[in-house]
Chains A and B, each alone.
Chain A
Amino acid sequence: MAFVVARRELTWWENLYIGEIVRGVWITSRHFLVNLTRHAAHSVGLMRDKPALVTFQYPEQRRPLAPRKRTRHRLTKRADGSPRCVACMMCETVCPARCIYIVAKEVGNPNIEKAPQRFDIDLGKCVFCGYCVEACPEDAIRMDTGILEISELTRGEMILDMQTMLASSPTPATDHLQSAPGH
C-alpha cells in the first residue's frame, strides 16, 4: 500500500552541514578507532571476545548453516546398504528444472519392487528448490550434505551420479534429524 512519508524540514543548524558533518565524522572515526584497537589487541592475543569485524573470512571461516538449509543432494540407504530409493519417479516428475534422470531396475524383493539403476542429478540445471525431497515417499533423497561449493570445468562434470550421492553423509548440524533405521 502506498503511503506518504512525512519528511521533516531540516533545521537551520542541520542546513549549515558543518555540525552534522562533524557528528558523522565522529561516528566513522569511532568505528575506525575501536576496530583498530581491537585488531591490534587481537594480534597480541588480547580482547579475543570482542569482535573487530562483522564479516566472515570465507574460505577459512564459514557461516554456520541452518539445519534446514538446502545443500547438495544425497541418497539415503537401508540398513543393508542398498539405496532406499524405489525409483517411483516422483522426484523426477516434480522437478521444475528437470534435472533428475532415473533408470529403474527390478529387484527380487516384492516389498520393494524397484530400485534405481541410475540416478543422476545435473547440478548445472538444479535450482535447489527442494521439491524432490518433499515429493519423495521413501525419504530416500535429502539435501543436507552441507556442500555448497559446486563448480566444475565442464558441464558433463556437473552431473552427480548415484554412487557419489549414496556415499555422501549429512552435516553434523543435521545429523540428529536422521530418521530411525530400517523401515
Chain B
Amino acid sequence: MPVNVVQQLMGFPISVDLRDGDRPDADRVFAWLREVDLRFSPFRIDSEVSRYPSVEPSDDLREVLALCDEYERRSGGAFRASLPGRSFDPSAIVKGWAVQRGALMLREADVTRFCVNAGGDVVTAGEPSPGQPWRVGIRHPDNAQQITAVLGIRDGAVATSAAYERGQHIYDGRTGLPAFGLLSVTVHASDLTTADATATAAFALGVDGPEWAAAQEGCLVYAVDTNYRVFRSPELPVVSG
C-alpha cells in the first residue's frame, strides 16, 4: 500500500514516499526526526546541542561531533561547526545523519522501495516501479520550477548545498566569511550522511569544492559555479528526459 506523507519539521518540509510500506512506517520516521529536532536544535536552549559541552554528550551527539571533526579535517577547516563569535551549530551534519538513520529504520522494517526527501536532501531505496530507478531532479540554481539534470538512482543518496534558498548561510571556516564561488553543489553517495556532509563542505570550499568532493571516497559531483559552468563526475548516473 503506497504512502506519501509530508510534514514540516526542523524548519523544512520532509516527504516520505513509501511504495511498499504502511503509514506506521512513515510515522516512525517522523517521530525520530521530531526527537532529533528537540535534541539537536541549536535554537532550543534545553537541547543537547545548546547544553554542550557543559553536559556530557550522549552517544548520538558523540557520533555527530565525530562527523563534524572528520569533515573539518578533510576540508582543511573550510567546514566548521564552531565558528568564531557564533554558538556551536552542527545542523549541517545532523540533517543528513538523522535522515539516513530514518532510512535505516525503514529498511529494518522491511520497506524496500522508498524515497525520503528532507528539504531537498534525498535518500532512496529500490525502484518506484519495476525496472525503473528513482528519477532525482537537480534543481536549477536560478529557477525553482526547473531542473538542470536528472539522476537515476536505486539505493543511494543525493544532497545539494546552495545559497539560493536561505542566502549566504554557509561560511568558509578558513576565513570566517560567507562561502563564494559556487551557485550549487550536488553530491551523490551511497548514504545521505556522506552526501550531505560532503556537499556542505564542498560549498564552503568554493571554487575548489567540486574537485575536492570528487576526490572523496564514493562521492560523485554535479556543481554549478558562479559563471554558470557545470562540473560533473563523468560516472554520475545522469538519465535523459
> A and B from one assembly?
no
